Amino acid sequence: MYSLEKAFQVGPLRLLKRMNSKNACKTCAVGMGGMKGGMVNEAGHWPEVCKKSLQAQVADMIGALPADYFDKYSLAELEKLTPKQAEDAGRLSYPVVLDKGATHFKPITWEAALNHIESALKSTTPDRTAFYSSGRSSNEAAFLLQAFARVYGTNNVMNCSYYCHQASGVALKMAFGTGTATVELEDLTRCDLVVLLGANPASNHPRLMTQLANLRARGGRIIVVNPVRESPLESFHVPSQIKSLFFGTKIASTYIQPLPGGDVAFLVGVLKSLIEKRRVDNEFIDNNAEGAAEVLNYARNSDWSDLVTNSGTTKEEMEECADIIYDSKRTIFAWAMGLTHHASGVDNVLAVCNLAIATGNVGKPGAGLLPIRGHSNVQGIGSVGVAPALQDSVRQSLETIYGTKITDAPGLDTHAMIDACGKGDLDFLFALGGNLWGSNPDSNWAKESMARAKTIVYLSTKLNPGHFHGKGETTVILPVLARDEEPQATTQESMFNFIRLSEGGKPNIQGQMRAEAEVICDIANRVLGKTPFDWTSLRDYRKVREIISKTIPGWQEIGTIDDTKKEFTITGRVYHTPRFNTTSGKALMHPTPLPDPIKGGLALITLRSEGQFNTVVYDEYDFYRGMPHRFCILMSEKDAQGLNLKDGQSVAVRGEAGRMENIEVVIGKIRQGAVAMFYPECNILIKANIDARSKTPAFKSAPVWIEV
Ligand code: SF4
């Protein structure tokens, strides 16, 4: 029904043609589409499509913003738009600028916009500039962005994963030498157990649910670890399987609801149980791992009562999970931001790595580690260098190719970048897609900080509240083409390390939209000139792929993909043998001390609803959780009784950074001590409590207080 409604919004045949086009899905990183055809996954299975992919495609096909839109609505009015209202306003089809002190954005020519950007970059120093990318951009545009920034002279280059999966990258690199999944899609058909932590793929990665349903259908088991008892993780209806469609498929065989922030204690408890029952895979450890003694001793000497208190789970639950993992032949540990959005995010993921190593569940087919990544190319943009630090080999290659020395001065991460704005240390900020302001904790701090930057430039397909709240003295918004509108083929990397080739296509709407990569080449040409390197030559994406193939380890095949049309898995990422990309070739185990529990209040978890993807809101109701709108707080029966609150009652919620009024109480299946609200609206409550290693804020364990 929903699909038909959406189809008639833009024309069923038009939509079907777009969905069938050979372009990678624009939404999540599970990865569909590309040369295998639209709605086809890496294993070649068709149809693989979901509501999220439809929502993103239809959103790019709705009409353009009216020509008088910015005359009609003042900045003050635009600041009142909800994420959904901004999204539904229409496609950006002409450049606009908000001049210093102006009350309205106004249309501007591309020439004038590029002139402004050129003079802004030429009138400051590279260390006072920063370049950011969301995960929807292509590998080509992302590579050019980081290369231009570096040749221009700064390492202030970061991407949206600093606020989502950076902890996964840091921990996996510490344990195995590579920062991404150690499995491929097919491994989900080979495993007999999935431990799913801090994730709700039914809302954010729907086709992953098909893999989980298939696992249960072949007799496998699934342990879900999540403070919220998500109904689709209990039973899910797979649209492409008749029986499941009508009767549902049982997903979780075991459901554990720890306290937010209780993951390390829970995982150390599971390891402790394995040790006590002499079920650790010592042979695997002896042959393939280092650092085990300290980790095993820590678990062995941990007190069960501390583990129970800190995790909020029972000894019996930890023992049950240990038994299930022990009985499994091939286990995949999969997680999302429920693990990474903590001040102990890196330790949470290291504790998962320790458990996988201690049970020999890595380095063989059907077993390993799977961070469930967000945006469709968030992994790719990181892989091609959109990060503050570059591998030495990559920097040296860039120096050779671009004929210039590249600074090795440390670069800013996302939070540090906003902080630098606030201190008046940044004049220029360039954002490739995304809603940078909205993704920040402490929304008022982020707004005030960004307002101190002289120039902020956004390359976007549609409006979002970040354009109006994340503005500088001067703000320029440039309309760009979507993935299936690109004049040339582009590439994307899935969460399974698989590179897709998207054929592009004709624009969905008339307008002045340009290709992101071409805009970056034009700016580079204007600012850096044609010597020693002619940036305009890189308007040909094949040349960009040639350079990527010579620069980024494991990406050689991208250099010939235009001729071979052969999509590929990046080499050195998927481990089917226990030889890892570490100095010794062995996996490295790391101690994970119990984090301090949250002090005071209830523990707030920020959620994405079924009707949104990251900060983009398509529908304001949450189909699975029964949360009728965006300003709700999900609370347990026990906490509501304790606070003498009723379902539907309106309350105020106070956090360490702000306060929200008129929040509706929704009593639901969330564990006692935890409450949940929707991201990004509730970020205004959250103070930036940052993980020192991942630089990721604690969006999933922030103290809040309910006021009536
Ligand atoms: S699961 Fe992800 S990649 Fe697959 S169709 Fe849905 S949004 Fe696209």
Report the distance separating Cα 639 and Cα 646, nearest Å.
Answer: 10
- What values do phi and psi take at 35, rounded to 5? -60, -25
Percentage of residues in the chain having pLDDT higher than 70: 100
Cα 12 to ligand 1 centre (Å): 19
Cα 185 to ligand 1 centre (Å): 13
Q: Judge whether residue 600 has pLDDT over 90.
A: no
How do residues 549-569 score in pLDDT, each as one tens digit? 999 999 999 999 999 999 999
The answer to whether position 384 is within a domain reads no
What number is the average pLDDT over the span 279-297? 98
Report the distance separating Cα 644 and Cα 646, nearest Å.
Answer: 7
- Separate counts of helices (H) and strands (E) for the chain: 30, 27
**Tokens 């009652």 -> residue:** 649
Q: Judge whether residue 1 has pLDDT over 80.
A: no
User: 622-645 burial, b if ≥16 CB within 10 A, otherwise e?
Assistant: bbbbebeebbbbbbbeebbeebeb
Give the domain CATH number at 206. 3.40.228.10
Report the distance separating Cα 648 and Cα 446, nearest Å.
Answer: 31
- Protein residue whose Cα sits closest to atom 5 of ligand 1: 49
H helical segments located in 99-252? 110-122, 139-152, 166-176, 187-190, 201-204, 206-217, 242-247
Per-residue pLDDT band for 374 (boundaries 50, 70, 90) equals very high
Which amino acids bring their CB within 6 angstroms of ligand 1?
25, 27-28, 30-32, 48-50, 52-53, 205-207
Choice from 15, 39, 48 to test ligand 1 binding pocket (greatest atom count within 8 A of CB): 48
Count of structural domains, the chain: 4
- What values do phi and psi take at 340, rounded to 5? -90, -20
Judged on CB neighbours under 10 Å (0-12, 13-18, 19+), 8 is: exposed
How do residues 616-638 score in pLDDT, each as one tens digit? 999 999 989 999 999 999 999 99
Per-residue pLDDT band for 37 (boundaries 50, 70, 90) equals confident
The answer on 214 and 96 residing in a single domain is: no
DSSP secondary structure code for residue 594 in this structure: P
3-state SS, 480-500, equals ECCHHHCCCCEEEECCCCEEE
Q: Judge whether residue 5 has pLDDT over 90.
A: no
This prediction's pTM = 0.97
End-of-domain residue from the set 20, 45, 61: 61
Q: Give the residue numbers spanning the domain of 551.
A: 69-164+397-480+515-566
pLDDT number for residue 155: 98
The answer to whether position 498 is within a domain reads no
Cα 223 to ligand 1 centre (Å): 23
DSSP secondary structure code for residue 619 in this structure: -
**Tokens 């671009």 -> residue:** 402
Per-residue pLDDT band for 97 (boundaries 50, 70, 90) equals very high
- Protein residue whose Cα sits closest to atom 6 of ligand 1: 50
Q: Could you count the other beta carbons within 10 Å of the beta carbon of residue 275?
A: 17
**Mean of the per-residue pLDDT values of the chain:** 96
The answer on 73 and 57 residing in a single domain is: no
Q: For residue 27, which atom of ligand 1 is closest to its CA?
A: 7
Q: For residue 49, which atom of ligand 1 is closest to its CA?
A: 5
Report the distance separating Cα 611 and Cα 219, nearest Å.
Answer: 31
The answer on 557 and 424 residing in a single domain is: yes
Per-residue pLDDT band for 46 (boundaries 50, 70, 90) equals confident
The answer to whether position 572 is within a domain reads no
The answer on 249 and 348 residing in a single domain is: yes
Give the domain CATH number at 675. 2.40.40.20
Judged on CB neighbours under 10 Å (0-12, 13-18, 19+), 303 is: exposed
Q: Judge whether residue 70 has pLDDT over 80.
A: yes
Q: Could you count the other beta carbons within 10 Å of the beta carbon of residue 663?
A: 22
Helix (H, G, I), strand (E, B) or coil at 292: helix
Cα 672 to ligand 1 centre (Å): 32
Nearest of 252, 264, 269 to residue 317 by alpha carbon: 269
Task: Supply angle C-alpha 355, 168, 433, rounded to 5.
Answer: 160
Helix (H, G, I), strand (E, B) or coil at 618: coil
pLDDT number for residue 230: 98
Strands 96-98 and 106-107: antiparallel
What number is the average pLDDT over the span 42-64? 92
The answer on 541 and 439 residing in a single domain is: yes
pLDDT number for residue 442: 98
How do residues 104-163 score in pLDDT, each as one tens digit? 999 999 999 999 999 999 999 999 999 999 999 999 999 999 999 999 999 999 999 999
The answer on 202 and 136 residing in a single domain is: no
The answer on 184 and 153 residing in a single domain is: no
Q: For residue 39, which atom of ligand 1 is closest to its CA?
A: 5
What number is the average pLDDT over the span 329-348? 98
How do residues 518-551 score in pLDDT, each as one tens digit? 999 999 999 999 988 899 999 999 999 999 999 9
pLDDT number for residue 3: 80
Cα 164 to ligand 1 centre (Å): 18
The answer to whether position 506 is within a domain reads no
How do residues 452-467 score in pLDDT, each as one tens digit? 999 999 999 999 999 9
The answer to whether position 510 is within a domain reads no
pLDDT number for residue 597: 84
How do residues 393-445 score in pLDDT, each as one tens digit? 999 999 999 999 999 999 999 999 999 999 999 999 999 999 999 999 999 99
The answer on 429 and 347 residing in a single domain is: no
The answer to whether position 503 is within a domain reads no
Q: For residue 52, which atom of ligand 1 is closest to its CA?
A: 7
Cα 467 to ligand 1 centre (Å): 27
Give the domain CATH number at 526. 3.40.50.740
Cα dihedral across residues 433, 435, 440, 442: positive or negative: positive
CB under 8 Å to 282, separation ≥6 — which residues? Answer: none
pLDDT number for residue 598: 84
pLDDT number for residue 47: 86
The answer to whether position 440 is within a domain reads yes
End-of-domain residue from the set 61, 87, 108: 61
The answer on 250 and 131 residing in a single domain is: no
The answer on 271 and 207 residing in a single domain is: yes
- Protein residue whose Cα sits closest to atom 3 of ligand 1: 31
Per-residue pLDDT band for 480 (boundaries 50, 70, 90) equals very high
Cα 203 to ligand 1 centre (Å): 10
Per-residue pLDDT band for 641 (boundaries 50, 70, 90) equals very high
The answer on 689 and 561 residing in a single domain is: no
What number is the average pLDDT over the span 679-700? 97
pLDDT number for residue 531: 82
Nearest of 110, 105, 101 to residue 73 by alpha carbon: 105
The answer to whether position 491 is within a domain reads no
Q: For residue 30, which atom of ligand 1 is closest to its CA?
A: 3
Q: For residue 208, which atom of ligand 1 is closest to its CA?
A: 1
3-state SS, 371-406, equals ECCCECCHHHHHHCCCCCCCCHHHHHHHHHHHCCCC
End-of-domain residue from the set 45, 61, 77: 61
The answer on 114 and 222 residing in a single domain is: no
Helix (H, G, I), strand (E, B) or coil at 314: coil
Gyration radius of the chain over CA positions: 24
Cα 26 to ligand 1 centre (Å): 8
